[in-house]
């Protein structure tokens, strides 16, 4: 594995469809958690939970983002720690890029890539087990 800091544009240019998707999702969150439908408790369950009866690995993510916006990061962590850590890390890397004009580049060998998939899968399963235990 090789980690390097490379020069980059301060503000990356995302494809237009990603911005449209983020705005659409944000609008749905505001609509569903606002006073229009009776508050955050009125947000419908995800389809995975509706079909299986157990929370999906991402359950609690929308409520976690809302908790962060409300200034309660500890509640966001409690809802879904894996998503909270991932969003915090992504946000920190983005702010670093804006401030310094550099990006962190990680180059993996084939062996490192397999190990990363195994570790990532294990983290996903551990996070999912926590969400099931906490919200199930």
3-state secondary structure the chain: CEEEEEECCCCCCCCHHHHHHHHHHHHHHHHHHCHHHCCHHHCCCCHHHHHHCCCCCCCCHHHHHHHHHCCCHHHHHHHCHHHHHHHHHHHHHHHHHHHHCEEEEEECCHHHHHHHHHHHHHHHHHHHHHHHHHHC
Percent of the chain with pLDDT over 90: 47
pLDDT of residue 118: 97
Spell out the domain ranges in the chain. Answer: 59-136
- Which pair of tokens denotes residue 126? 């551990």
Q: What's the Cα-to-Cα distance from 87 to each of 29, 41, 111, 135, 136, rounded to whole Å?
A: 17, 23, 27, 20, 23
Residues in the chain: 136
Q: What is the pTM of this model?
A: 0.70
- The answer on pLDDT for 35 being more than 50 is no
| Signed CA dihedral, 23, 24, 29, 34: sign only | positive
The confidence band for 50, taking pLDDT boundaries of 50, 70 and 90, is confident
Is the per-residue pLDDT at 36 higher than 90? Answer: no
């Amino acid at each position: 594995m090789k980690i390097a800091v490379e020069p980059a544009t301060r503000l990356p240019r995302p494809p237009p469809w990603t911005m449209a998707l983020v705005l659409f999702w944000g609008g749905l969150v505001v609509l569903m958690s606002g006073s229009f439908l009776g508050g955050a408790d009125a947000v419908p369950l995800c389809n995975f939970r509706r079909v299986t009866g157990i929370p999906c690995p991402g359950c609690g993510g929308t409520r976690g983002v809302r908790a962060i916006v409300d200034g309660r990061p500890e509640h966001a962590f409690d809802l879904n720690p894996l998503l909270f850590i991932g969003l915090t890390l992504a946000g920190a890397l983005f702010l670093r890029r804006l401030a310094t004009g550099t990006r962190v580049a990680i180059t993996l060998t084939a062996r490192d890539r397999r190990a990363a998939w195994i570790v990532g899968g294990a983290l996903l399963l551990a996070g999912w087990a926590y969400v099931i235990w906490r919200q199930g």
